[in-house]
Amino acid sequence: MLMRSVLLMGICVLLWTAPIRPIPEKVHTDQQKIALGKKLFFDPLLSRDNTISCATCHDLYNGGDDGLQYSCGVQGRMGKVNTPTVYNAVFNFRQLWDGGAKDLKNQVHYPVGNYHEMNSDMKQVVQKLQSQRSYRERFGQCYENGITVENIEDAIAAFEEVLITPNSPFDRYLRGDAQAITAREKKGYMLFKSKGCILCHNGINIGGNLYNKFGIYRESNSVHLGRYRVTKNEEDKYVFKVPSLRNIALTAPYMHDGRVKTLHDAVVVMSEYQLGRYMTEEQIEDIVLFLRTLTGTLPDIVKDDP
């Protein structure tokens, strides 16, 4: 018991002193694969009726999501969970709200095969791409065995790996620029830590590195069962991957079901449901100001045509 208490104390000290790390300036990968993955990311051929691409729901010019409570897939079908941002997803320890995909490469086939999203399958995608000379040539330049399911997933993942947003004001502050954020934004960061937000939102992605139950201190009334979909364990009901807070000011609505429209209200919900703590209006606004410092810069590859 004593050892456990010491360990917990050590974790709390670590989170207080150095809980968040800045995003690296660049991620180095194969440029040919990145270019091919980008073309695939924007290509609606991945969907059954050639109407929906990855970029349809992951708008890279507006936060990496689509700003909707639920995304609209093929034939107008509505999704079942709020679309998470694709930006900085490479830093998540698992992908999807329920952690069903182990990495970016594994994640690709989920939206492709989802009835409410692209309603296709990877074998059909392979056939479509093989019918196009440009794709046969580009895959041949990147992979010895050409167009395969694994290579499609690998190329898209290569592109998504470089979708990082460094140089946020808070990152610059972490790197030593004391003037990068204001005194009130610093106060918001201190509250973010002292109120307990930091316990789940920490690390390089300020989240995305653990699971937690939604509705610890208050009933969540969620129709989505979270990790239970994957594990079928009762204790995993309403347990979700903690989302990254990077670029959070750009990715409303919030929560796995998009129930919250504003960043202010998201802080209120988290304080009630997850922390069980009252916050004054001033404290809420201070934390919101801090959260707005987490908006980074778009990668150069997004600015070029696919």
Distance separating alpha carbons of residues 152 and 46, to the nearest angstrom: 10
Helices (H), 99-242: 104-107, 109-113, 122-130, 133-142, 149-161, 169-174, 183-194, 228-231
Other Cβ atoms less than 10 A from the Cβ of 136: the count is 14
Distance separating alpha carbons of residues 199 and 243, to the nearest angstrom: 13
Hey, CA dihedral for 176, 182, 185, 189, is it positive or negative?
positive
Distance separating alpha carbons of residues 232 and 242, to the nearest angstrom: 19
Distance separating alpha carbons of residues 288 and 179, to the nearest angstrom: 18
Number of H helices, E strands in the chain: 14, 2
Q: Which single residue is written with the structure tokens 């360990």?
A: 7
Distance separating alpha carbons of residues 261 and 251, to the nearest angstrom: 10
Catalytic one of 25, 117, 150, 161: 117
Distance separating alpha carbons of residues 73 and 96, to the nearest angstrom: 17
Decide if 117 is catalytic: yes
Here the tokens at position 292 are 């707005």
Burial class, 2, CB count within 10 angstroms (exposed 0-12 / middle 13-18 / buried 19+): exposed
Burial class, 296, CB count within 10 angstroms (exposed 0-12 / middle 13-18 / buried 19+): buried
The residues assigned a catalytic role are 117
